[in-house]
Amino acid sequence: MKFKMIYLYGLIAVVSIILLIFVSQQSSTPNGKITADNNSNMPEDDVHKKLREQASGPPNKDNVSEAYREKLEGLKSAVDKNPNDTLAIKNYADFLSAAHKMNEAIQYYNKILEIDSRRADIHFALSVIYYTRQDFVNSEKENNEVLAFDPNNQMALYNLGAIAATKGNISKAKDLWNKVLKINPESETGKLATESLGKLN
């Protein structure tokens, strides 16, 4: 049984919005929604057409809009000017992730962790990338990194349960989601754990 890691996909949605808003201001095409699945599930609009073209070949003047290129260059320039500015690095990494340049995004997210290894948001962003690649070992590792300095982090525990359920380890998923409930059943994560447990029964 496969469970979507809603929190992880939520992070993808957030960073995707940055790209969607910027590109949509350059055209009259209605906004679409980038999913965490593969390109075949993307809407048939100009924004997603550009993303599909990027995924199928190297960027060039025909498949990358000028606005996109300028935005990317601006974010990269901000990082180059201030290589220890974690906000600038995160903005650039988020944009790369939204544009499906995952290897580059990983590189810049890791730069942030070299500066501050206790950034849960960065560990979760990396976990998203690994999860969507079906690299569950590294996805689990990123969530466990959060638990190492925040043992009661409900999001990390929930995500580990989602990974376990996706891999078919239902017993482990139940244990992790029940742990989420013991910490705080009334939180949004607690409610999500209750809902997910209900789907297993």
Query: Is the pLDDT score of 83 beyond 50?
Result: yes
Among residues 82, 21, 13, 8, which one has the least CA distance to residue 47? 21
143 within domain boundaries = no
Q: Are 170 and 116 found together in one domain?
A: no
- Say what the pLDDT of residue 61 is: 54
Which CATH number characterizes residue 36's domain? Answer: 1.25.40.10
Q: What is the pTM of this model?
A: 0.69
Q: Are 125 and 195 found together in one domain?
A: no
Task: Using CB atoms within 10 Å of the CB of residue 195, give its burial: 0 to 12 exposed, 13 to 18 middle, 19+ buried.
Answer: exposed
- Say what the pLDDT of residue 43 is: 54
Query: Is the pLDDT score of 113 beyond 60?
Result: yes
Q: Are 12 and 107 found together in one domain?
A: yes
| 3, 124, 146 from 154: Cα distances, Å | 17, 12, 10
The arithmetic mean of pLDDT across residues 167-172, rounded, is 95
Instruction: Please state the domain count of the chain.
Output: 2
Q: Are 119 and 155 found together in one domain?
A: no
142 within domain boundaries = no
The domain of 93 spans 6-135
Query: Is the pLDDT score of 124 beyond 90?
Result: yes
Q: Are 19 and 76 found together in one domain?
A: yes
29 within domain boundaries = yes
144 within domain boundaries = no
Q: Are 48 and 114 found together in one domain?
A: yes
Residues whose CB falls within 8 Å of the CB of residue 84, separated by 6 or more in sequence, listed in order: 115
